[in-house]
Amino acid sequence: MGPTTRAQFVYNRRRRSGGRHAVEEASDEEEQRQDSSSSSSDEEDEAEASGEEVADEEEEEAAAVEPAVKEDHAAAAAGEKRGGRKGRITISLKKVCKVCKKTGHEAGFKGAVYIDCPMKPCFLCKMPGHTTLTCPHRVAMEHGVIPAPRRNTNTSLDYVFQSQVKGKISMKGLLGIWDYVKLHEKITYDSVHFCILNSMKIDNANDGILYTASSDGTISCTDLDTGMGSPLLNLNPNGWNGPSSWRMIYGMDLNTDKGLILVADNFGFLYFLDRRSKTRIGHPVLIHKKGSKARIWDTRKLEANSPLANLAHGRVVNSGYFSPQSGNKILTTCQDNRIRVWDYIFGDLQSPSREIVHSHDFNRHLTPFKAEWDPKDYTETVAVVGRYISENYNGVALHPIDFIDTSSGKLLAEVMDPDITTISPVNKLHPQDDILATGSSRSIFIWKPKTEDELTEERTKQKAKEYIYGSGSRKKTNGKHDNSSDDDSDGDSGRKSKKAKKTRFTCTTKGKGKSKV
């Protein structure tokens, strides 16, 4: 958050339901059932069109088919036994959309391109009448269809209890500290938190002090020089009493002027801590209730139901940041796939100054995307944010990190690398240098723009390659890494693939990350 001495922005975090989810029913076989009258040639055509293999007669018994198909298989075998073409068994592979369960079309990946269900509103802009591929907000588009079966079974797990009492989940809450010029010198702290970290703030006025907020309900401060840590706040002093009472800390920010630490939990309460005395100040204030959206508050007058303004959003707001220089603008990221800019915090905040359609809506399981200002940009226009939907990049589905001009909505740059096949929800720009740290569930990458020398060298190498191998032979990767050798210098991974031509940034170093970052 920006320099917020007078007004404090707090985004809402809705209360967790904590409810038990039922195990998903098996899909309706009736819908998947194919009438057995279609000819075998049709079957083959259809199967080919949907990218499925059609088993040879001799291999059909061993062919791995879905239950519904098996049924058809059996029915067809019974019905056509000794009839027509002797021994010929047809396999029905009628297209069933995994999204809307209707037949005749399919949604999912076709190669590196995701095909939307046409029955649904656009996945990107949420408007009906078109899909992502034809969305006017889409940058690039390609076509294809392939089924991508996926199972999503929901069960309730008191993972806090698991980790606290049984100690089973040991990897959660691991804190890693890297020096970005010496990444091999990673330091990990496994005893600071035992649940995921939701916020980390370094106190610039007190160099080397790191504050961390976690779903374990605690705030800790760690001296990065000495490695010494101490707890500041524990919202669950009585331990685990079920999910309905367990408090998790999502929001945290420092007010260095006043030596304050502001903490927000999952129930909508805001807590104040004194940085020096490390004690709580006053009583927690309930500043959000379920259904409320983003609000601005004056920290001097923090009472329930007295916000300075309500910033209207269509859905849950993942983040809101004051602009880094003046603090006069606010940048919000909302689950309705829109980034909003509010130009004057003391002006009319009835509606945003601009709305930029951008893919960051996600189902579950991901750290929420948060568009952040570039702290170096004195014009307060550039923002960085990871993109959810993938881009077909030379046959590989990659999730770029976008640099957006928030004054125009224009995409200034998209950072991709064949080594980053995961979504990158967490992105931090260096406060002084042209460096981006991007995190995913798998890794942390440090990016910087290529120097002219590096670009020249790369062009030279590319030309040499084309001269030696020719420029037209590209190996199909089908969304996965291939093993083609490359000119990468660090050899900690055997999975290297093609260089991203469009990428104007280069990966200089990397390290292994843990869970959500």
Asked whether position 363 contacts DNA by CB under 7 A, the answer is yes
Label residue 227 left, alpha or beta by phi (over 0 means left) and psi (-120 to 50 means alpha).
left
Asked whether position 157 contacts DNA by CB under 7 A, the answer is yes
Among 37, 41, 152, 305, which residue sits at the site for DNA (rule: CB under 7 A)? 152
Residues 397-416 that bind DNA (CB under 7 A): 397, 399
Q: Which long-range contacts (CB under 8 A, 24 or more apart) does 178-181 make?
A: 178/444, 178/511, 180/435, 180/437, 180/446, 180/509
Residues 491-510 that bind DNA (CB under 7 A): none
Number of H helices, E strands in the chain: 5, 29
Strands (DSSP E) found in 89-193: 108-110, 113-115, 175-179, 182-189
Asked whether position 150 contacts DNA by CB under 7 A, the answer is yes
For residue 187, the cross-strand partners are 177
Whole-number minimum distance, CB 513 to DNA, in Å?
8
Q: How far is CA 382 from the centre of its chain?
A: 20
Residue placing its CB nearer to DNA in the complex, 366 or 413:
366
Among 33, 71, 142, 159, which residue sits at the site for DNA (rule: CB under 7 A)? 159
Residues 196-235 that bind DNA (CB under 7 A): 196, 215
Among 38, 255, 335, 407, which residue sits at the site for DNA (rule: CB under 7 A)? 335
Asked whether position 99 contacts DNA by CB under 7 A, the answer is yes
Residue placing its CB nearer to DNA in the complex, 32 or 381:
32
Residue placing its CB nearer to DNA in the complex, 361 or 374:
361
- CA dist 382 and 61 (Å) reads 59
Whole-number minimum distance, CB 431 to DNA, in Å?
27
Asked whether position 170 contacts DNA by CB under 7 A, the answer is no
Contacts of 391 (CB under 8 A, 6+ apart): 139, 140, 397, 398, 399, 400, 414, 416
CA distances from 56 to 36, 45, 63 (A): 18, 14, 9
Among 38, 394, 407, 422, which residue sits at the site for DNA (rule: CB under 7 A)? 422
In one letter, which amino acid is 219?
Answer: I
Whole-number minimum distance, CB 515 to DNA, in Å?
7
> Is the CB of residue 306 less than 8 Å from the CB of residue 10?
no
Whole-number minimum distance, CB 31 to DNA, in Å?
12
Binding piece for DNA, criterion CB under 7 A, among 86-94, 113-121, 252-260, 497-505: 113-121
Whole-number minimum distance, CB 100 to DNA, in Å?
7
Strand order in the sheet with 317-322: 317-322, 330-334, 338-342, 354-357
> Collapsing DSSP states into helix, strand and coil, what is residue 466?
helix
Binding piece for DNA, criterion CB under 7 A, among 44-52, 179-187, 203-211, 355-363: 355-363
CA distances from 395 to 89, 109, 391, 422 (A): 35, 11, 9, 15
- CA dist 189 and 142 (Å) reads 44
Asked whether position 421 contacts DNA by CB under 7 A, the answer is yes
String of contacts with DNA for each residue 57-76, x by CB under 7 A: -------x------------
Please, where are the H alpha helices in 390-507?
452-469
Range 65-81 burial, b when 16+ CB lie within 10 A, else e: bbebbebbbebbbeebe
> Whats the size of the chain, residue-wise?
517
Residue tagged 């030309």 (tokens): 463
Among 55, 183, 316, 412, which residue sits at the site for DNA (rule: CB under 7 A)? 316
String of contacts with DNA for each residue 20-59, x by CB under 7 A: xxx-xx----------------------------------
Residue placing its CB nearer to DNA in the complex, 360 or 499:
360
Among 200, 260, 366, 413, which residue sits at the site for DNA (rule: CB under 7 A)? 366
Asked whether position 151 contacts DNA by CB under 7 A, the answer is yes
Burial class (CB in 10 A: 0-12, 13-18, 19+), 96: buried
Asked whether position 286 contacts DNA by CB under 7 A, the answer is no
Among 52, 116, 265, 419, which residue sits at the site for DNA (rule: CB under 7 A)? 116
Asked whether position 423 contacts DNA by CB under 7 A, the answer is yes
Binding piece for DNA, criterion CB under 7 A, among 200-208, 357-365, 372-380, 459-467: 357-365
- CA dist 195 and 197 (Å) reads 6
Binding piece for DNA, criterion CB under 7 A, among 29-37, 148-156, 274-282, 401-409: 148-156
Contacts of 377 (CB under 8 A, 6+ apart): 324
Residue placing its CB nearer to DNA in the complex, 21 or 85:
21
Asked whether position 182 contacts DNA by CB under 7 A, the answer is no
Among 193, 295, 442, 499, which residue sits at the site for DNA (rule: CB under 7 A)? 442
> Is the CB of residue 295 less than 8 Å from the CB of residue 304?
no
Among 271, 297, 322, 388, which residue sits at the site for DNA (rule: CB under 7 A)? 388
Total residues binding DNA (CB under 7 A): 59
The pair of three-digit structure tokens given for residue 445, joined into one six-digit string: 């990458």
Interface residues toward DNA, by CB under 7 A: 13-14, 16-22, 24-25, 64, 98-99, 107, 109, 114, 116-117, 120-124, 132, 150-157, 159, 171, 195-196, 215, 266, 315-316, 335, 359, 362-366, 388-390, 397, 399, 421-423, 440-442
